[in-house]
Amino acid sequence: MGKLTQLLSLNLSNNFLTGSIPISFRDLKSIESLDLSHNRLTGKIPHELVGLTFLSVFSVAYNNLSGRIPFEQQFATFSAQCYEGNPELCGDHLPRKCSSTNQPGHEDKSHHMDEKGGTRIIDSPIFLYAFVFFSYAFGFWAFFGVLIINESWRHKYFSAVDRYIESCFGML
């Protein structure tokens, strides 16, 4: 797309696009309107897009973008609505201001910040391991606990296992 240097308007909204915004968009020197909203784009807004001096309409709302938004040249004129729906974006004219951890080269993928600046526990790998362990333990004890407590179910279960083993030996 970057080779379409005479393109004036590009609307790719609502297309379920994934991946990052291509840096090749910096070559769209004549573009006046760029709408990438309502997709599944990730990563940062490329700083190279500040070179699009004719850009007057820009929207990346409702994606999964993160990091600091460019705040130079015409990007200083875009409203917060252009970026809404991207909880990991931060910048001077957004409700979420950037901290030193949002600076380029200082990103920590193991901790994600929520809208109030707190760490979300659900993104922690410890939460994942604990969830898997407790799910396994619950399933194990739910199955074997019933067999231990209910004698009639225990007899039915072991007789079914015995029949299955006998049928396997019968096939051999």
| Per-residue three-class SS string for 17-58 | CEECCCHHHHHCCCCCEEECCCCEEEECCCHHHHHCCCCCEE
User: Residue 66's closest CA among 91, 41, 44?
Assistant: 44
135 assigned to some structural domain: yes
Q: What is the pLDDT of residue 107?
A: 41
Q: What is the pLDDT of residue 102?
A: 45
Whether residues 63 and 107 fall in one domain: yes
Whether residues 81 and 150 fall in one domain: no
Backbone angles phi, psi at 42, to 5 degrees: -125, 175
Distance from C-alpha of 47 to C-alpha of 39, rounded to nearest angstrom: 20
Per residue in 107-151, pLDDT (tens digit) is 444 444 444 444 455 556 787 888 899 999 999 988 888 888 888
SS3 59: strand
Whether residues 152 and 89 fall in one domain: no
Q: What is the pLDDT of residue 121?
A: 52
Full domain range(s) for residue 162 = 127-171
Q: What angle do CA 112, 116, 119 make, to 5 degrees?
A: 30
Q: Are 44 and 67 in contact (CB under 8 A)?
A: yes
Which whole-number Å values give the CA distances from 60 to 21, 46, 54, 78, 107, in the listed order? 10, 12, 17, 11, 21
Low-confidence residues in the chain, pLDDT < 50: 102-119
Model-wide pTM > 0.85: no
C-alpha torsion angle, residues 54, 57, 60, 66 (rounded to 10):
50
Whether residues 74 and 29 fall in one domain: yes
Q: What is the pLDDT of residue 134?
A: 92
Q: Work out how many domains the chain is built from and give that number.
A: 2
139 assigned to some structural domain: yes
Q: Are 46 and 23 in contact (CB under 8 A)?
A: yes
SS3 66: strand
Q: What is the pLDDT of residue 113?
A: 45
